[in-house]
């Protein structure tokens, strides 16, 4: 009880410090480049995504044709460093783009976002050789990758991960199963988080090791496609690793650093999830307003009824608030500040609003 109380007090003190922290230079003036990319993304979504969104959501096929066009137009892998041939766009610019894509189709956008999620650990901690080999490949070809962390008993509780790795000579052997992995059957490679130590005395921060694993490595099997409730264009699968041998050179970071890398990845990419949710909420608002102006009852548009107009007003308020907190989370990431607080709020709030 004492330990719990101390932990709670520490959290509240941290909360107070963050709540009253200053954020100089946080503003709303977007550069010409950001505005041009935002405009280009809006046009691409209107021309290439929205016309086919319903088709892919209905048939559940992977949207290869859309992703290939997005890749050709520079909307894929937008965080890859320039040293690997990428655009290296900052997070604020990225949320502008992803909100536009979320407006068009969250399923297709999730398939795109999975690349950034898988690439971020490499950007954060991989050797220059690994970066050039794998990130360079993503720039050159319209490929997709997967972030294989979640398990059936380890979702938000990443520390419960059971997939393990054991050193064998100059290689590591991976055994275990991952669940609900986006792009599971179409990925060229996986970022895989494994447990390297089961000793309960070892802190979680030193109990995990991360690897990059090529999808065609012997011992990998892919499960059936999950039927999602929405976002059916996103390929979601279970992945099983059975005596999968990986060279030590495929390790991301050092032994025991996997958990920190995974957590940093989540903090970095949450604003993108928030942006997609904000885009979805904005689309809902637009569709609702359109219908309220078209539909008539008792000789007038239903938008003239207070019961309807109040709901639309609440929707508009929440979309604007969602967008603002998403920008704040993205700004913190772009400043290389500790982003967990604001990026978590952004993801939580935006997802709730979209729902």
pLDDT (0 to 100) of residue 155: 82
The model's confidence at residue 338, banded by pLDDT at 50, 70 and 90, is confident
* Over residues 299-311, mean pLDDT: 96
Q: What is the mean pLDDT of the chain?
A: 93
Mean pLDDT of 129-156: 95
Average pLDDT over residues 278-304: 97
Kindly state the percentage of the chain with pLDDT values over 90: 86
What is the predicted pLDDT for the residue at 44?
99
pLDDT of 82 > 70? The answer is: yes
Does position 18 have pLDDT exceeding 70, yes or no?
Answer: no
Please compute the mean of the pLDDT values over residues 279-308 and round it to a whole number: 96
* Domain 146-259 class in CATH: mainly beta
Confidence of residue 11 (pLDDT cuts 50, 70, 90): low
Residue 135: is its pLDDT beyond 90?
A: yes
CATH 2.40.110.10 maps onto the chain at: 146-259
Q: Of all helices (H) and strands (E), which one includes residue 210?
A: strand 208-214
In this predicted structure, the answer to whether residue 12 has a pLDDT above a threshold of 70 is: no
* Per-residue pLDDT at 20: 56
pLDDT of 200 reads 85
pTM for the full model? 0.92
Whether the CB-CB separation of 122 and 252 falls below 8 Å is answered with yes
Q: Is the pLDDT of residue 2 over 50?
A: no
Secondary structure E strands in 6-70: none
Comparing 156 with 316, the larger pLDDT belongs to 316
Mean pLDDT computed over 128-153: 97
Task: Tell me what the mean pLDDT of segment 337-342 comes to.
Answer: 90
Mean of pLDDT values over 57-80: 97
Which stretch, 198-202, 222-226, 336-340, has highest mean pLDDT?
222-226
What average pLDDT does this structure show over 232-241? 96
Strands 208-214 and 251-252: antiparallel
Identify the pLDDT of residue 40. Answer: 98
DSSP letter string over 229-295? SS-TTS-EEEEEEEEEEEEGGGEESSTT-HHHHHHHHHHHHHHHHHHHHHHHHHHHHHHHHHHHHH-
More confident call, 21 vs 162:
162
pLDDT given at position 342: 95
pLDDT tens, residue by residue, 28-38: 789 999 999 99
Spatial CB neighbours of 251, under 8 Å, sequence gap ≥ 6: 172, 209, 210, 211
Residues 129 and 132: their CA atoms lie apart, in Å, by 5
Within 8 A by CB and 6+ apart from 269, the residues are 113, 116, 117, 120
Architecture of the CATH domain 265-354:
Up-down Bundle (1.20)
Phi, psi of 122 (to 5 degrees): -70, -40
Question: What per-residue confidence (pLDDT) applies to 23?
Answer: 55
pLDDT of 38-54, one tens digit each?
999 999 999 999 999 99
| Percentage of residues of the chain with pLDDT beyond 70 | 92
Q: Per-residue confidence at 110, pLDDT binned at 50, 70, 90?
A: very high
* Residue 265: pLDDT over 50: yes
What residue spans in the chain does CATH classification 1.10.540.10 cover? 32-143
Q: Looking at the domain that runs over 32-143, which CATH code has it been given?
A: 1.10.540.10
The answer to whether residues 349 and 325 touch, using CB atoms and an 8 Å cutoff, is yes
Domain with CATH 1.20.140.10 in the chain: 265-354
The mean pLDDT of 99-105, rounded to a whole number, is 98
pLDDT at position 84 is 98
User: Mean pLDDT across the stretch 183-211?
Assistant: 95
């Amino acid at each position: 009880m004492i330990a719990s109380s101390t932990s709670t007090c520490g959290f509240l003190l941290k909360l107070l410090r963050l709540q009253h922290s200053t954020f100089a230079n946080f503003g709303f003036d977007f550069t010409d480049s950001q505005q041009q990319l935002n405009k280009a993304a809006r046009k691409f979504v209107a021309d290439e995504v929205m016309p086919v969104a319903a088709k892919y959501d209905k048939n559940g096929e992977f949207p290869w044709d859309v992703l290939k066009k997005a890749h050709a137009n520079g909307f894929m892998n937008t965080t890859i460093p320039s040293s690997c041939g990428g655009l290296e766009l900052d997070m604020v610019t990225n949320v502008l783009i992803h909100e536009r894509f979320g407006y068009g189709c969250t399923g297709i956008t999730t398939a795109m976002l999975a690349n950034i999620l898988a690439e971020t650990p490499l950007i954060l901690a991989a050797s220059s050789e690994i970066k050039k080999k794998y990130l360079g490949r993503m720039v050159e070809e319209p490929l997709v990758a997967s972030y294989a962390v979640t398990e059936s008993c380890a979702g938000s509780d990443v520390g419960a991960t059971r997939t393990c790795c054991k050193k064998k000579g100059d290689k590591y052997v991976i055994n275990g199963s991952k669940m609900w992995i986006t792009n599971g059957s179409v990925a060229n490679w996986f970022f895989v988080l494994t447990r390297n130590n089961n000793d309960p005395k070892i802190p979680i921060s030193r109990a995990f090791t991360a690897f990059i694993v090529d999808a065609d490595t012997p011992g990998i099997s892919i499960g059936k496609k999950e039927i999602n409730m929405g976002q059916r264009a996103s390929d979601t699968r279970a992945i099983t690793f059975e005596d999968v041998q990986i060279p030590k050179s495929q390790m991301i970071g050092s032994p025991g650093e996997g958990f920190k890398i995974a957590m940093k990845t989540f903090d970095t990419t949450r604003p993108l999830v928030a942006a997609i949710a904000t885009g979805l909420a904005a689309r809902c608002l637009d569709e609702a307003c359109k219908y309220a102006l078209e539909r008539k009852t008792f000789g007038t548009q239903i938008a003239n009824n207070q019961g309807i107009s109040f709901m639309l007003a609440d929707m508009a308020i929440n979309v604007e608030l969602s967008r603002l907190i998403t920008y704040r989370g993205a700004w913190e990431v772009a400043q290389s500040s500790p982003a967990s607080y604001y990026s978590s709020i952004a993801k939580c709030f935006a997802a709730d609003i979209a729902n």
